[in-house]
Structure 1
Amino acid sequence: MSSPKVRLRNGEIEGRLIDRESVAFLGIPYARPPVGSLRFKKPEPAPKWDGVKDCTKFGPHCPYIASHTDRLTDSSEDCLYLNVYAPYPDGKFKKDLPVFVYIHGGGFVMDCSNKLGVDNIGRHLCSKDIVVVSLNYRLAILGFLCWGKEYKGNYGLFDMKMALEWVVHNIGTFGGNPSNVTVGGQSAGAAAVDLLAISPLTRDLFQNCINFAGSSYCAFALRQPQNVKQTATEFARKKLGAEEEAKDSEVLELLKTVEGKKLAIEGLANYGPVIDGEFFPEELEALRRSAPKKTVLVGVTEQECLTFGTISKQFPSLRESVPFYVRIISETLDPEVAVAIYDKVVDDSLPDSDNNKFEQFVKFLSELFFNYGTHKMVKHRVDRGEDVYLFQFKYFKEGTNGSYGKMLPYQAASHCMELPYMLGKSYVDDGDFDPDDTDHKMIDIFTGYLSNFVKTGNPNGQDLVKWNKVNQENYASHLCIDLEPEMHDHGFYSNHVSEFDQLFKNN
């Protein structure tokens, strides 16, 4: 079978066969390269091209420093590319298929869509008659710098907007239905999905949402513009050689002109979406009330912060590490209130080396980072009459978390550990995912639910344990996803929601 070609509005592209039933078009430009005078600007439409563009390999992604190697990834500031995976039986596209757009996580400062498993997306999602789209967007300083009235930030969100508009205009060429689009994401990607669902600029571009470990209620979902500017200023002084007494205008000029790769940051930092008066013309609570209803599938892994919890070893005690974790995710949360919650949740009479104590600590962090924000989104959407399907992913296999696993006192499903069973590849850079028979069973279960949801807005289907919607009588009703899935009525949230309400009241 010859290589597939399609003609888009901008020109012709050539992709590659995944197998005899599906194809991939990788590295499709969806915007003009955001370089030179376009740095720190909203994206512009991609220019047209002559001839046939080679779309058989991934395009560049935004520069970032890989957390497990501390090395700059192979990347470029010219990073606004997306990928399309589609069913292609007998050398032909189907018609009016549901579309799943996936937005990667990484705290708005790292990661990319190039890490997804091409072959397994075809095998496990396209085979279920779904067209899949993944995209790269600008990160960290390049994606979210705020600097006065001229530079309001949110460039990464505007990138996502342009990618979704590209989907609406072009996905029919690949057999997709632009009126049946589900947007999903993980961690920061999930927070972005929730933000896209309430912004007047994007909320009508898709119909359903999938949120893995993130929502707009999570503390890391929003930043304060003045703090973003301060963080960028400190970066310019420490990493780019800006003088301590340099004027704002001089620091900004340095950020605008330095080589793009030099703006890659290390680890998590204070960059992300902000209330800018444009992408978010009002405060989020007002936008949530006016946003159109959507059907939502949302959940977390059993112990989201198991991996993150190991950072606490850098501190004299678990308790003394709490303010550090609070500062990572938010500038508005009160560390003293968080420590008070820690004192209620964790038995501090146990030694820090005790695994039971560490598990209590992990559950506290998971609530702080992800579960509480999930609870708030679920409650809001259910109360306004939306269909919400909640899950906790419990299945785990050693090796999928790579070198991180060697740091853990025990093994369990942690942050990102559900992704191999949807995307077919470990999301940890040095993770090993060589699925055996039980893994394939888990893949079939998980992608079965997900594909049903993308198609119909309901995850239920033949040969799957029934998944009940959340209701106002029990906001914790969820499906525990394992080799034998089962519905649970409790155990999703801690018994300290009211304390977390107090912590998050000003967030």
Structure 2
Amino acid sequence: MAPVVCLLAVAAAFVGSVDCEPFVNSSFGTISGRSDSFEDVEVESFLGIPYAKPPLGDLRFAYPQVFGPVGELNASQFSSKCHQRESKSTSRPASAVESEDCLYLNVFRKAGTQADAKKAVLFVIHGGAFTEGSSSDESYNAKPMVALGDVIVVSINYRLGIFGFADMKDLAPGNLGFFDQLLALEWVHENIAAFGGCPHRVTLVGVSAGSISVAALLASPLVRGKNLFRGVFMDAGVMSRTSIMTQDYTLNRMKEIAGKVGCGTEGGKMLSCLRNVNATRLIDLSSDLETSSIFTFIPTVDGKFVPVDPTKYVQENPDKFPDVRMIIGVTKDEGTMFAAMVPEAQKVETETEFVALSEKMSKNLVYPLDFDKKEVKAAVTQTYFGKSVNHFHDISDFITDGTFACPTDHFVKEYSSVHKNVFVYRFERTMKTKGILPGMNDPELLGAFHGSPFIHMFGSCLAFSGETPLDADDKQFSMDSVKMLADFAKSDAVPQLRGVTWPNYSSGEGILVINDNTTVSNSLGCRERCQKVFPFLDAV
């Protein structure tokens, strides 16, 4: 807690200084944090604030429960990560402590922010394929955005993998990670004013699985009418048939795990038993199931949070989707990071090898194509093989379209038909800094890699402790991008990036093609390929 001498030294209870730890008085409790700086701007961080009771014992595989007032809370350190598989991402080393007791959030603000400041708020949901990641990861460092954009940032943890998305139908609910996110968002609505934020000026920000989560929050009937947010920024992810599994499929996987730990498969007995199995053991068994897919447990159409097939929800329920301002898009090279995880991707030389690897990747990324059909094989090879600078990028382009570009193209087409402020981008800029992702030192191989718009626009790349200092052009581009996103959150004005006004996709003005020299184009440019290769995604 802040000492008495510190309390007497400030005029308001919400001002921190370098001489004492910052603190906030709220109905939730008195919360003390810590002060750091970025570019000589002091930033106050309130870390590890509980928003839900620890999901332990009978609360494992159960809806999150509100965490009551804390009285006094030392919020100077990040909480544990949520339990997760060993990282398969080249950008996310496995290091921090993990625990089921992980439902915490963090609040960041510029020093000197008053309780009545009513600043815009960015609510950040991390990515990681619903199986890994944490708000404490380097990619979600909020200090640059707070220092340069002068907004409040909230980042959250939510349950992952088997603990967050093991839908057991009538036995135990699915999509618990989504329910965690909603509870955290409601916490912000009730408490952010004490930190100087405005509960009516919240913008959701998500990358990859975090962006899919934003789409789920947009569509969920459980969010409707609560006015929890006014805008969204979505990078590389929408709700689509590639981002969901059936309840039966997930339940069968749980039964397989239950059998391996001696829990049997009989209803309530199975659930009760699974709640007592060591958490690490369950994570290990989940990973063992990943024989054909990198995803073991991901969202389901549960009839509650996700009510219906997400590809048809906007079209069939146009009046039920909140009309919020939206920035959404993908990169030119979403697939490079995923292709780089597969050693044989850089060794492809023949069409036969390309087809075999394409089939493998389509299964791994949950858009299985029937390569036994000649017309399917022909469509894939004619569309992608030999069409890029090398066969590694042929594979990458196949992944980019099937996993990201085609679902996003379909989503923006549907959403923009019923709502009026949709700003779409295609990110083509290649970072010049080497080693921006651990173990990957070739910027040309990565290209405009998965998640690169987010780390530019949120500004976290400005604080990366990479192998080499951030290139000056990369730094300036990110600083300009941070201003764009902060301005989007602060006002209703049409966003601008480096002096270029963003075209409104809903008005038929096209999209922004983001590079060092940003331009305007008619569309994402993938629809013809999507219709030919991935018609089952409804990307038409």
For the superposition of Structure 1 and Structure 2, which TM-score range results when normalised by the shorter chain? 0.7 to 0.9
- 1:46: Cα distance to partner? 0.6
Does the alignment pair 1:496 with 2:532?
Answer: no
Instruction: Give 1:359 shift.
Output: 2.1
> Within 5 A, what are the aligned runs for 1:132-151?
132-151=153-172
Aligned-pair distance for 1:291? 1.5
Tell me how many residue pairs correspond in the alignment. 493
Cα contact 2:402–2:534 (8 A) shared by 1? no
Post-superposition Cα deviations, 1:26-53, rounded to whole Å, max 9, x if no partner, equal: 1110111111110000000113334x31
CA–CA separation in structure 1 for the residues paired with 2:168 and 2:462: 33
Residue 77 (structure 2) pairs with residue 57 (structure 1)? yes
TM superposition shift of 1:122: 2.7
**1:272 alignment partner, one of 298, 306, 311:** 298
Q: Deviations over 1:270-319 (max 9, x none)?
A: 31221212223444434642222121101112200012123554487221
TM-score (norm 1): 0.87
Matching residue's letter, 1:273: P
Q: Distance in 2 between matches of 1:427 and 1:441?
A: 9
Contact kept? 2:142, 2:460, Cα under 8 Å:
no
Partner of 1:131: 152
Picking from 76, 80, 87, the partner of 2:110 is: 87
**Deviation at residue 235 of structure 1 after TM alignment:** 4.3
Corresponding residue for residue 167 of structure 1: 188
CA contact (8 A) 2:80 2:96 kept: no
**For residues 448 and 433 of structure 1, do their structure 2 counterparts lie closer, same or farther at Cα, with a shift above 3 Å needed?**
farther
Residue 323 of structure 1 corresponds to 359
Does the CA contact (< 8 Å) of 1:22 and 1:85 recur in 2? yes
Contact 1:391 1:481 in 2 (8 A): yes
Structure 1 residue 292 corresponds to structure 2 residue 292: no
- After TM superposition, the structure 1 = structure 2 runs for residues 216-295 of structure 1, keeping only pairs within 5 Å, are 216-217=239-240, 219-236=241-258, 241-242=261-262, 251-264=270-283, 265-266=286-287, 268-284=294-310, 285-286=312-313, 288-289=317-318, 290-295=320-325
Deviation at 1:230, TM superposition (A): 2.5
Q: Give the letter for the 1:195 counterpart.
A: A
Please state whether the residue corresponding to 2:242 is helix, strand or coil. helix
Residue 9 of structure 2 aligns with which residue?
A: none
1:163-194 CA-partner distances (Å, limit 9, x unpaired): 01001000111111111111010111101101
Letter paired with 2:207: Q
Distance 1:341 1:7, change over 3 A: farther
Query: Is contact 1:140-1:272 (8 Å) kept?
Result: yes
Distance 1:212 1:369 in 2: 13
Aligned equivalents of 1:152 and 1:429: distance in 2?
A: 38
Q: What is the SS of the residue equivalent to 1:307?
A: helix
SS at match of 1:321: helix
Q: CA, structure 1 residues 236+308, in 2 after alignment: closer, same or farther (shift >3 Å)?
A: farther
Root-mean-square deviation over aligned CA pairs: 3.1
Once the two structures are TM-superposed, the CA of residue 343 in structure 1 deviates from its matched residue by: 2.2
**Whole-Å Cα distance in 1 between the matches of residues 482 and 473 of structure 2?**
14
- Distance (Å, rounded) in 2 between the aligned partners of 1:386 and 1:415: 27
Answer whether contact 2:481 2:497 (CA < 8 A) is retained.
no
Q: 2:230 maps to which residue?
A: 207
Q: 1:424 to 1:254 in 2, by over 3 A?
A: farther
Structure 1 partner of 2:475: 440
Alpha-carbon distance in structure 2 between the residues aligned to 1:355 and 1:242? 52
Q: 1:307 to 1:80 in 2, by over 3 A?
A: same
The match for 1:480 is 513
Cα distance in 2, alignment partners of residues 458 and 236 from structure 1 = 53
Paired with 1:46 and 1:481, the residues of 2 have a C-alpha distance of 42
Extract unaligned runs of 5+ from structure 2. 1-16, 346-351
1:13 aligns with 2:24: no
Distance 1:404 1:233, change over 3 A: farther
Report if the CA contact (8 A) 1:355-1:409 is conserved.
Answer: no
Residue aligned with 2:528, SS: coil
SS in 2 for 1:79: coil
Cα deviation 1:46-84 (Å, max 9, x = unaligned): 13334x311111111211212259968521000100011
**AA partner of residue 356 (structure 1):** N
Give the Å deviation of 1:391: 1.3
Residue 305 of structure 1 aligns with an amino acid whose one-letter code is: G
When structure 1 is superposed on structure 2, of 432-441 and 443-452 the one drifting more is 432-441
Which deviates more, 451-460 or 120-129? 120-129
- In structure 2, relative to structure 1, the CA distance for the partners of 1:31 and 1:88 (3 Å cut) is same
1:361 paired residue number: 395
Deviation at 1:16, TM superposition (A): 1.1
| Pair 1:470-2:505 in alignment | yes
Change (3 A) 1:139 1:241: same
Question: What is the TM-score with the length of structure 2 in the denominator?
Answer: 0.82
Aligned counterpart for 1:29 among listed residues 26, 50, 59: 50
- SS in structure 2 of the partner of residue 3 of structure 1: coil
* CA contact 1:58–1:114 (8 Å) conserved in 2: yes
The Cα shift of 1:257 comes to: 1.1
State which of 415, 418, 436 in structure 2 corresponds to 1:381.
Answer: 415
Structure 1 residue 9, shift from structure 2 partner? 2.8
**310-319 or 166-175, which deviates more:** 310-319
Answering whether residue 419 of structure 2 is matched by residue 401 of structure 1, we say: no
Does 1:342 pair with 2:380? yes
Range with bigger deviation, 23-32 or 258-267: 258-267
Q: Distance in 1 between matches of 2:207 and 2:462?
A: 11
Contact 1:209 1:296 in 2 (8 A): yes
Contact 2:46/2:107, CA 8 A, preserved across alignment: yes
Distance 1:433 1:233, change over 3 A: farther
Structure 1 gap segments, 5+ residues each: none
Offset from partner CA, 1:100-132 (integer Å, 9 cap, x none): 1010111111111111467x6333334322111
**1:16/1:23 contact within 8 Å kept:** yes
Name 1:418's counterpart in structure 2.
Answer: 453
CA shift in 2, pair 1:457/1:325, >3 Å: farther
Amino acid across the alignment from 1:110: E
Pair 276,196 (structure 1): closer, same or farther in 2 beyond 3 Å: same
Separation in structure 1 between the aligned mates of residue 79 and residue 111 of structure 2, nearest angstrom: 22
Q: State the 1:494 CA deviation.
A: 5.2
Paired with 1:506 and 1:146, the residues of 2 have a C-alpha distance of: 27
Does the Cα contact within 8 Å between 1:87 and 1:94 map onto a contact in 2?
A: no
Kindly state the Cα deviation for residue 86 of structure 1 after the two structures are TM-superposed.
Answer: 1.2
